[in-house]
Amino acid sequence: MKSFDSSNEKISVIGLGYVGLPLSLLLARKFRVTGFDTDASKIDKLQRGINPITEPGVDDLMSDPAIMDHIELSHNSADLKTSRIKIITVGTPYDPNTDYIDYSQLNGALDLLHGNLQIGDIVILKSTVPPGTTNSVVRGRIISYGFKVPEDVGIAFSPERMVEGQAIKDFTSLPKIIGASDPETSGIVAEVIGSLGGRIVQVSNPETAEMVKMVDNYSRYVFLGLTNEIALASEKVGVDALELIRAAKQDYPRNAGLLLPGPGVGGSCLNKDPFILRADLRKKSLSLRMVDAAAEVNRSIPKHIADLVMQFSNGRKKAVIAGVAFKGDTDDTRFTSTFEIAENLRTRGFEIKFSDPFVNISDITIDHDIYESSTDSEILILLTDHTEYKELDLMRLKSIMRGRPLIIDTRGIIWRDHAVNMGFEYHGYGRL
């Protein structure tokens, strides 16, 4: 009963954020796409060719006439009706204080489908959710609209696995997990999602696909806890954690999961997904002890970075924090450790300025020019691995900063010997 003709039928993508916008543009290389968002101002910007997110490659896709000829941008839910495939990419916020998972965006997206579903349609959920959500929330809503699942409408879960800053590469190369309500739906979803590139991995049900996404970020969060503990241990025993980790991984696949340390764990996914899974499993009488152990370490790192600044400040108090985004070459500040570190330092009498080439926040002064913000400062605290910071002109920095400036490098992006030769005092997280 379900059918899909790539030459004639549309795909709708509901939610045009960091996931939905790149996905819409990439799908429009082959299919006709309706990119939908309830934010009318965002749709207006997109229609005028203004990219609302910072993500390498998106501007290039938006400037391709062949792609833009295949995509319709809309905030009118009636435009969803003509699409046989509806892909939901909205957020599922989590409150760590109450273990509350906010399904309002997901329920809102499903409500948009009421009156806009037809027999033969397929609804694909990409939003991160606890195992069982597709078969309970999504299926339940569709049944309440008068359809049978999967006889009338198929459902599937296919997690996004991209990392900000390399979304286009990830979308077009990483394996695609598909867990569907029935084999026919799974095959059609494989055709759609498979058009992006990368291997298709079809699993037996949506719950398995949902759990894959949980495991992706659960394991990474735990590995970051291990990495941060290694960095703390390296400081105590007097070795360079970056050298240690790189040596341990060299041609030794058993250590492939080791990551490089940073000033805290940022971003929505890693600060949400492991805890969503933990909250869900608590209801099933299972405690995820490794999540709790990793959280204890990871949440201690921002204060540790502030302690390092204090340890080596030696009376210097005028500091520039380079990096407000949680990761390099993005403007995403969700769960960034920057403000926690800044507040900790302010309570100790430091004067703090912020610099970031991508981030704008209405009520916070953030200089885009690192050299302008560093003028007359005494301390440079590198928190984000923006490409621009990896290419800093240290001679120029030294000429505009006061005295013998201090660099606290939490990302390992400055070569210590070069910094010292330029007249800086240099210390790094995990590599004193």
Express each pLDDT in 251-274 by its tens digit: 999 998 899 999 999 988 899 999
Is residue 94 scored above 90 in pLDDT?
no
As a whole number of angstroms, the distance between CA 162 and CA 89 comes to 13
CA-closest candidate to residue 185, choices 161, 155, 229, 223: 155
Average pLDDT, the chain: 95
Q: Rounding to the nearest 10 degrees, give the CA dihedral for residues 200, 203, 207, 209.
A: -20
As a whole number of angstroms, the distance between CA 72 and CA 94 comes to 31
How confident is the model at residue 268, as a pLDDT? 86
Is residue 185 scored above 60 in pLDDT?
yes
How confident is the model at residue 278, as a pLDDT? 92
Which token pair is 234? 């390296």
How confident is the model at residue 204, as a pLDDT? 97
How confident is the model at residue 163, as a pLDDT? 86
Which token pair is 82? 């003509």
- Could you count the other beta carbons within 10 Å of the beta carbon of residue 223? 14
Which token pair is 353? 């300025």
Cα-only R_g, the chain: 24
CA-closest candidate to residue 52, choices 42, 62, 60, 44: 42
How confident is the model at residue 9, as a pLDDT? 79
CA-closest candidate to residue 393, choices 368, 410, 411, 418: 418
As a whole number of angstroms, the distance between CA 250 and CA 256 comes to 9
Mean pLDDT value of segment 104-130 = 95
Is residue 76 scored above 90 in pLDDT?
yes
As a whole number of angstroms, the distance between CA 374 and CA 380 comes to 7
Is residue 2 scored above 70 in pLDDT?
no
CA-closest candidate to residue 431, choices 360, 415, 423: 415
- Maximum CA extent, the chain: 75
As a whole number of angstroms, the distance between CA 163 and CA 142 comes to 31
Is residue 303 scored above 60 in pLDDT?
yes
Which token pair is 165? 């800053």
Q: 324-378, pLDDT tens digit by residue?
A: 999 999 999 999 999 999 999 999 999 999 999 999 999 999 999 999 999 999 9
Is residue 1 scored above 60 in pLDDT?
no
Contact between 133 and 210 under an 8 Å Cβ cutoff? The reply is yes
- Could you count the other beta carbons within 10 Å of the beta carbon of residue 178? 25
Name the residue ranges covered by the structural domains of the chain.
Answer: 10-204, 301-428
Sorting pLDDT into bands at 50, 70 and 90, what band is 32?
Answer: very high
How confident is the model at residue 432, as a pLDDT? 77
Sorting pLDDT into bands at 50, 70 and 90, what band is 3?
Answer: low
Mean pLDDT value of segment 177-205 = 97
Q: Which CATH superfamily is domain 301-428 in?
A: NAD(P)-binding Rossmann-like Domain (3.40.50.720)
Is residue 321 scored above 60 in pLDDT?
yes
Domains 10-204 and 301-428 share a fold: yes
Written out in words, the top-level CATH class of the domain with range 10-204 is alpha beta
DSSP H helices, 251-410, are 268-282, 289-298, 301-313, 338-346, 370-374, 387-390, 394-400
